[in-house]
Amino acid sequence: MQHNPRKRFGQNFLVDRSVIAQIIAEIAPRREDRVVEIGPGLGALTHPLLQIVDHLHAVEIDRDIVGRLQAAFTPERLTIHATDALKFDFSSLGNQLRIVGNLPYNISTPLLFHLSQFSEHILDMHFMLQKEVVDRMVGMPATSDYGRLSIMLQYRFDMEHVFNVPATAFRPMPKVESAIVQMSPRPPAQLTAKNDALFAEIVTAAFSQRRKTLRNTLQRYLTQEDFAMLEIDSGLRAENLPVERFVAIANFLA
């Protein structure tokens, strides 16, 4: 039965068997792992995962695909959560979750932020994303890739850009190159921000006008004397500060 990819769900289905095998090798699933697949689509990863793990959870919004999955797998092997991943409570599935998926590119950034809320329940994550997004996720200070996404994710996760995937590996073929990223939650002891909401607010404000200096973007929060106490040059731009300095600013204000 043919499935026509739906643009509103950002569907580009992975079809290259060698790439699929490479992804499974990177995930290295074990029989007893609690694996959650986001957006299983036509089952490119679902089938090989279920050849290894005892049971798999899948989060899928497309009703047609849900029907295909229900016809292909028994509930004993595959639990399907027919809902929007952006609204799903991943903590309901327990702890030590291994989350995988070819994420829809049109919601990848908000989905990554949503998943960040459940980091204490996650063992690791392996995602296919637009390469440009992965470059931003792992971006280093003083580079054009480094920004709000880099800081907010690097605060909670250790991340690695694993390998690139060409557009030819998909049907329909996207207009962009893709990449696999591996994400592991950092230990709770390393998450030292006293107020997560304030930390996020400061990062957002600092990058609200990327070409302006911190003296301008954070003038609502810090005086020149505050910058001096923090030993931060107010003439720098946000892209020049490492993650820990943003944590220091938020904790100073908290």
Residues of the chain with CATH 1.10.8.100: 196-253
The CA angle 244-143-155, to the nearest 5 degrees, is 25
CATH class given for the domain over 196-253: mainly alpha
* pTM of model > 0.85: yes
Q: pLDDT tens for residues 87-125?
A: 999 999 999 999 999 988 889 999 999 999 999 999 999
Structure tokens at 249: 């600013």
Distance CA 177, CA 239 (A): 25
Query: Model confidence at 32, in pLDDT bands (50, 70, 90)?
Result: very high
Q: Which residues pair with 179 in a beta bridge?
A: 129, 164
- Over the stretch 47-79, which tens digit does the pLDDT of each residue have? 999 999 999 999 999 999 999 999 999 999 999
Q: How far apart are CA 249 and CA 254, in angstroms?
A: 9
Cβ neighbors of 239 (< 8 A, separation 6 or more) are 141, 142, 143, 144, 146, 147, 207, 210
Query: According to CATH, where is 3.40.50.150 located in the chain?
Result: 7-188
- pLDDT band with cut points at 50, 70 and 90 for residue 11: low
Each residue's pLDDT tens digit, 159-201:
999 999 999 999 888 889 999 999 999 999 999 999 999 999 9
Residue matched to tokens 């497309």: 62
Q: How would CATH label the architecture of 7-188? A: 3-Layer(aba) Sandwich (3.40)
The span from the CA of 21 to the CA of 222, in Å, is 51
